[in-house]
Chain A
């Protein structure tokens, strides 16, 4: 009952004209930067930080948060239309979303992304309102051994469920981990595989990697086809979802929401992991897994929902404990400090207006995002009809600016070009690219936490099975491996007995 009263109070704050206006500006700006590759919410929020000093604390947080979750909406647009993931979290959306676009279902794919995000945003926000403190305490149980186990599970599942050769998927995942390890080592500061370049000491840029591997690579393969790019244009006008689409989309979005809500609370790579986890889950339980990779609507709905749910629940550690679980949250923490609010366990009690106003504004913001995005679908879809000889140079330029804008580093552009080459080569000889990217994102986290866990346990390996949560994750890994190996052995045995 108290929660309800608080929510009503928060809603009263969220729908004041000023706060509505700034939620709208934030959502719009977030959508714009989400659509542009490379330009992320991190850079935008920090540039606006000094401007928001003049605003009321609640208003400023409402706007900055809206930019963040608005960017998650916008990120799917270029992923679907151009196979161009602007961030690691939209890589998996591009896989089936872009296939849908090529088959003339761009409108349906964009609508799926927007609606799944709305569903996820609303449910995850309700979770924050109802369960924030217990969820935050649950997240505190995730320390080095658990994070290591979880990241390893993510990598293992990705390799096992990857279509095509197991060996090649494994090789790409491990290569991704190796690439992720480039840069200075957290524990000793040693420069690893940096070729002596100081610019590489912070590692390879994930944006350059993703844009090169997927976005630019797509252009090369389009231009290499003898008959040019194939977009089924006849049905482009059908923008909305059919009843059948809706039936396939809704359960996937709900499952994605559940996965994203849990993984978003955890520290580190929760958001990226949740999109991949949702995709693997959907393919595993689908009636027709062969449809995945060819434009399955569940392959867009699940990951998009997971991404947006995780974006919302990643606020929980910040709002309840004052712990920023990601760089974006660290930035919002900074915004609170500038406003003279000391974030911590008591924000909910000391500043209920801030806590509940922000939560209520998340519903408002999510609704606004759908209202902003749905009418734009028609415009985006028309973008596909722009002659390709105009579209592709523009995409290349956007990618270059986006990649350059992150650190004003020419090296990032060269890395982007290099990974375009790597992607082209890998596809030519049948290596999958998704495990490479996931290894790149999760591998360094796994390594860091493995070493930390071992140091803190004085080298005792038992720490991984003595702790209940990490033991449970490891048990799931063992089951997963058995479910993969046993059918293989059985096949081998029956082949032998026949021979």
Chain B
């Protein structure tokens, strides 16, 4: 029994930090926020989204004076979490943190969602952007987009693409690439980037879209080659990889992002307060450095711009998905 008590005391000490972070001074405040804020995620602990949310939760809680509790409601590629938040009370105490996939890609590729990404949400603000790039196996001789397209046309069965999931952002940009360039490639889908990378390194699939973080170390080791990035400028971590615009395909420019959303109808003062809390996290010296290391390009954005971006991207992705007949049930 003695050993049991010592054990508990020890664990208690070890985790005191964890608890301290969650319990901020709980003064009774008449105005928002006067109770803990729940940040809902559609992915399990372990996803990079989860790590970002937990990083941001601390400075946000500090600013708001209330705990920000990260809650994972997993299922259906994040759609369950989005639906849950869309149906919650618009009081600012339940907010959704998601990548652009959950708000503009899934609504374009899934046929039976129970929420409307425009009508059901108050789009609060974004954290930052994510670059997207194409990497190929070094055995692919093409150095430019046009060369690759010609190769695939000569032998449509020779080169295969792999995506990190059917109906996700990378699947949609792969279809965008096929539609805008006329490349003739077939491919397979994986359960995330983890199982895809070994097959790409082993030349089982030759072409894949992903984030610079997915490919960077393999490109530096010479195991993969970055063909192009879909950003307006070259990116800092891989300065040798040309942009799609440089290769004459500016229409391939796409970026993803991460942002916060709540149910439709949150009063503007509350939205502003959450936005200020987000800004505190974006400028927090330690947190911002960690986020950059995870591949987040922190960029302040006005709420109106955020909303416009969501609407434009959603329309574009819906067009791509319907042309490619991507219909996830």
A residues whose Cβ falls under 8 Å from a Cβ of B: 25, 28-29, 32, 42-43, 45-51, 53, 139-144, 184-191, 198-199, 201-202, 267-268, 317, 321-331, 334, 337-340, 342-346, 375-376, 379, 407-409, 448, 451-452, 455-456, 458
The chain A residue sitting closest to B14, CB to CB, is A25
User: Taking the complex as formed, is B57 at the interface, i.e. its CB lies under 8 A from any CB of chain A?
Assistant: yes
Interface centre among B79, B80, B167 (most CB of A within 10 A): B80
B108 to chain A, nearest CB (A): 13
Q: Is B74 an interface residue (CB 8 A)?
A: yes
CA distance A488 to B117 in the complex (A): 62
A186 to B114, CA, bound (A): 21
Q: Determine the chain A residues whose CB is within 8 A of the CB of B286 once the complex forms.
A: 53
Taking a contact as CB atoms under 8 Å apart, the answer to whether A187 and B166 are in contact is: yes
| Closest chain A residue, CB of each to CB of B76 | A201
User: Does B217 lie within 8 Å of A317, measured CB to CB?
Assistant: no
A189 near B11: Cβ-Cβ < 8 Å: no
Query: Which residues of the other chain, B, contact A185 by a CB distance below 8 angstroms?
Result: 166
Contact: B188 with A323, CB < 8 Å?
A: no
Is B293 in contact with A28, judged by CB distance below 8 angstroms? no
What separation, in Å, do the CA atoms of A201 and B42 have in the docked complex?
A: 13
Closest A residue to B290 by CB, please name it: A338
Q: Tell me if B51 and A338 are in contact (CB < 8 A).
A: yes
Inter-subunit contact B74/A407 (CB<8 Å) = yes
Q: Chain B: how many interface residues by the 8 Å CB criterion?
A: 68
Q: Which residue in chain B gives the minimum CB-CB distance to A50? A: B54
Q: Of all chain A residues, which has the CB nearest B111? A: A189
Nearest CB in chain A: distance from B188 CB, A: 5
B216 and A379 contacting across the interface, CB-CB below 8 Å: no
* Contact in complex: A344, B46 (CB < 8 Å): no
Q: Kindly state whether residue B280 has any CB partner on chain A within 8 Å.
A: no
Q: What chain A residues lie within 8 Å of B223 (beta carbons)?
A: 345
> In chain B, residues 238-296, which have Cβ atoms closer than 8 Å to a Cβ of chain A?
286, 289-290, 293-295
A and B contact pairs by CB, cutoff 8 A, 24 listed: A25-B10, A28-B10, A29-B11, A42-B44, A46-B46, A46-B54, A139-B198, A140-B198, A143-B204, A184-B77, A187-B189, A198-B79, A199-B75, A267-B198, A326-B194, A330-B194, A331-B45, A334-B48, A334-B294, A342-B217, A344-B220, A345-B218, A379-B1, A456-B160
Q: Are B202 and A141 in contact (CB under 8 A)?
A: yes
| Cβ-based interface call for B18 (8 A) | yes
A190 to B189, CA, bound (A): 13
A contact residues around B293 at 8 Å (CB): 337-340
- New A-B contacts (12) at CB < 8 Å, excluding given A46-B51, A340-B290: A46-B54, A50-B51, A50-B58, A53-B55, A53-B290, A189-B166, A201-B77, A202-B75, A327-B44, A337-B213, A344-B221, A407-B44
Q: Is the CB–CB distance between A198 and B80 below 8 Å?
A: yes
Interface residues in B135-162 (C-beta closer than 8 Å to A): 157, 160
Question: CB of B73 within 8 A of chain A?
Answer: yes
Chain B residue numbers with a CB within 8 Å of A342 are 216-217
Chain A residues with Cβ under 8 A from B83's Cβ? 198
CB distance from A414 to the nearest CB of B (A): 15
Main SS class of interface, A: helix
Per-residue interface assignment for chain B, residues 7 to 26, with 1 indicating a CB less than 8 Å from any chain A CB and 0 otherwise: 10011001001100100000
Q: Is the beta-carbon distance between B166 and A186 smaller than 8 angstroms? A: yes
In the assembled complex, how far is the CB of residue B159 from the closest CB belonging to chain A, in whole angstroms?
11
8 Å CB contact of A42 from B1, B46, B204, B220: B46
- In the complex, chain B residues whose CB is within 8 Å of the CB of A455: 160, 186, 188
Dominant SS among interface residues on chain B: helix
Smallest beta-carbon distance B68→chain A, Å: 12
What sequence of 0s and 1s flags, for each residue 217-242 of chain B, a beta carbon within 8 Å of any chain A beta carbon? 11011010000000000000000000
Cβ-neighbour of B202 out of A140, A201, A337, A407 (below 8 A): A140
Chain B neighbourhood of A202, CB < 8 A:
74-76
Known: A48-B18, A143-B202, A334-B48. A376 touches B3 (CB 8 A): yes
CB nearest to A201 among chain B residues:
B76
User: Are B198 and A198 in contact, with the CB atoms below 8 A?
Assistant: no
B58 contacts across to A, CB distance below 8 A = 50
Q: A379-B4, A456-B205 are in contact. Are A331 and B55 (CB under 8 A)?
A: no
Q: Is B72 an interface residue (CB 8 A)?
A: yes
Q: Return the chain B residue nearest A325 by Cβ.
A: B194
Interface membership of B199, Cβ < 8 A: yes
- B237 smallest CB distance to A (angstroms): 9
Greatest chain B CB density within 10 A among A45, A53, A268, A328 is at A53
B9 to chain A, nearest CB (A): 11
Nearest chain A CB to B301's CB is how many angstroms away? 24
B141 nearest CB across to chain A (Å):
20
Which residues of chain A are within 8 angstroms of B204 by Cβ–Cβ distance? 143-144, 456
* Pairwise interchain contact B294-A338, C-beta atoms closer than 8 A: yes
Q: Are B199 and A143 in contact (CB under 8 A)?
A: yes
What residues of A have a CB within 8 angstroms of the CB of B73 in the complex? 407-408
Q: Are B290 and A47 in contact (CB under 8 A)?
A: no
B208 at the interface (CB under 8 A from A): no
Contacts of A346 in B (CB 8 A): 217, 220-221
Instruction: List, in ascending order, chain B residues with CB within 8 A of A46's CB.
Output: 44-46, 50-51, 54
- A49, B11: Cα distance in complex, Å: 16
Answer yes or no: B195 CB below 8 A from chain A CBs: yes
Q: Is the CB of A198 within 8 A of B48?
A: no
Across the interface, name the chain B residue whose C-beta is closest to A330.
B194
